[in-house]
Amino acid sequence: MNNWEYKTLQFDTKGFSGGILDVESFNETLNRYGSNGWELVSCFGTNQSYGASRYILAVLKRQVRL
């Protein structure tokens, strides 16, 4: 049976009403975690207002080595 550990990353959005993600920084962070064995499981935005996202949350997992 596989054992997993999980990590949630929070990315702030920018702009007057939010919703603008720094994609370069986002990709850099995900690539850094990926090189350490983390796999992206889910990614979603949290609603602020008028459809803009306040935060982007990324959920990662990796297998626990016993």
Summarised one tens digit per residue, pLDDT across range 20-36 is 889 999 999 999 999 99
The residue with greater pLDDT, 49 or 61, is 61
Count of the separate structural domains present in the chain: 1
For residue 24, give its domain range. Answer: 4-63
Q: Is the pTM of this model over 0.85?
A: no
| 19 Rama class: left (phi>0) / alpha (psi -120 to 50) / beta | left
Q: Give the number of other CB atoms < 10 A from CB of residue 53.
A: 19
Quick one: pLDDT band at residue 51, thresholds 50, 70, 90? Answer: low
Residues 22, 64: Cα–Cα separation, whole Å: 30
**Quick one: tokens of 38?**
């983390």
The residue with greater pLDDT, 3 or 52, is 3
Residues 59, 6: Cα–Cα separation, whole Å: 7
